[in-house]
Amino acid sequence: MSKKPWIVDDELWARIESLLPAWPERSPGPRPVDDRLCLQGVLFVLYTGITWQQLPLELGFGSGQTCWRRLGRWQQAGVFDALHRILLAELNAAGLIDWTRACVDAPPACEKGGEATGPSPVDRRKTGSKHHLISDGGGIPFHVITTAANVNDVTQTLALVDGIPPIAGRVGHPRKRPDALLGDKGYDSNPNRQEFRKRRILPVISRKGERDIIGLGTLRHVVEQTFAQLHQFKRLAVRWERRLDLHNAFVSLACGLICWRRLNRQTQ
């Protein structure tokens, strides 16, 4: 990875540029800051966790306000979700997605406030939000949901599974169902097990009051590693964005970047 990871290389930019909404030919006001530079400003904030107001003008990425507005514009156009799907398809085409199992997890809540926040289950006096994540068997992120901190993990399991996008890249219809779903006791739910079986997914989930399934923790370790990668983006480790759509934009962008790293690592 570059010493300045917010610098967008030509290969990644080629994938992103085609997804960006076009500017009107006769747009009033001054010429907009170049999209690539604005994206690097957005990435600088994502990686470092600084506030928008702290974005240094000397970097040449435009003001924090400009980058903030551009982030909202791109999120409204679905740019980051589309990028994530494209990179998932490339990983699938390369045979790098492990469909034999998917893993779900949700770490302790992020602090700070905004939409989709609530009391922390650890300390009811605190507010915060929590990320729920589903990955493939190798830790590639499929889908992330942001909720209030006091939302139980089990309530989001079906939404995570159904939120896996149709992933192209192989012969036949795009795929969106793993063979099995791995979860700890926090996901113990007989109604959910029935729903998974309806979707032809084998639930491998430990039951409360019983011993853990042998070897399950080792297999699920990959999703914990994925969370570690996700929260290396300092803007996500603590919930700063009050607007849920902008927070989700950062989450989708981070998932895309994790996929991009994995693709580069395997193809070099």
CB neighbours (10 Å) of residue 103?
A: 28
- At a CB cut-off of 8 Å and minimum separation 6, what does 176 contact? 164, 165, 166, 167
CB neighbours (10 Å) of residue 63?
A: 15
Taking residues 12-40, report their average pLDDT: 87
Taking residues 238-258, report their average pLDDT: 93
Give yes or no for a contact between 218 and 224, defined as CB atoms under 8 angstroms apart: no
pLDDT of residue 24: 75
Give yes or no for a contact between 205 and 180, defined as CB atoms under 8 angstroms apart: no
pLDDT of residue 124: 47
Q: Which CATH number fits domain 98-242: 3.40.50, 2.40.50, 2.60.40, 3.30.420?
A: 3.30.420
Mean pLDDT check: name the lowest of 81-85, 127-131, 137-141.
127-131
- Percentage of the residues of the chain whose pLDDT score is greater than 70: 88
Confidence tier at 34 by pLDDT (50, 70, 90): very high
Question: Which residue did the predictor score with more confidence, 263 or 242?
Answer: 263
pLDDT of residue 267: 66
Beta-bridge partner residues of 147: 130
Alpha-carbon distance of 34 to 60, in angstroms, equals: 10
Taking residues 152-172, report their average pLDDT: 95
Alpha-carbon distance of 204 to 180, in angstroms, equals: 7
Taking residues 128-144, report their average pLDDT: 94
CA-nearest of 87, 187, 103 to 137 is 103
Confidence tier at 109 by pLDDT (50, 70, 90): low
Taking residues 170-198, report their average pLDDT: 94
Q: How far is CA 74 from CA 32, 204, 224, in A?
A: 14, 38, 29
Q: Whole-prediction pTM value?
A: 0.89
Mean pLDDT check: name the lowest of 27-31, 50-54, 100-104, 105-109.
27-31
Q: Which two tokens stand for residue 187?
A: 């996901």
3 state SS of 205: strand
Res 110 pLDDT > 90: no
pLDDT of residue 122: 45
Give yes or no for a contact between 133 and 141, defined as CB atoms under 8 angstroms apart: yes
Q: Tell me how long the chain is.
A: 268
- Percentage of the residues of the chain whose pLDDT score is greater than 90: 72
pLDDT, tens only, 38-61: 999 999 999 999 999 999 999 999
Taking residues 92-104, report their average pLDDT: 96
Question: Which residue did the predictor score with more confidence, 265 or 179?
Answer: 179
Please tell me the chain's helix, strand, coil percentages from 3-state DSSP, rounded to the nearest 5: 45, 15, 40
Taking residues 98-127, report their average pLDDT: 66
CB neighbours (10 Å) of residue 167?
A: 22
pLDDT, tens only, 197-246: 999 999 999 888 777 777 777 778 899 999 999 999 999 988 788 899 99
Alpha-carbon distance of 131 to 89, in angstroms, equals: 23
- The interaxial angle of helices 35-48 and 244-267, nearest 10 deg, is 90
Alpha-carbon distance of 258 to 254, in angstroms, equals: 6
Parts of the chain belonging to CATH 3.30.420: 98-242
Over the chain, what is the mean pLDDT? 89
CA-nearest of 165, 203, 18, 24 to 84 is 165
Alpha-carbon distance of 131 to 152, in angstroms, equals: 11
Confidence tier at 126 by pLDDT (50, 70, 90): very low
pLDDT of residue 26: 66
CB neighbours (10 Å) of residue 92?
A: 19
- At a CB cut-off of 8 Å and minimum separation 6, what does 31 contact? none
Confidence tier at 117 by pLDDT (50, 70, 90): low
Q: Residue 3 corresponds to which amino acid?
A: K
Indicate the DSSP class of residue 185: G
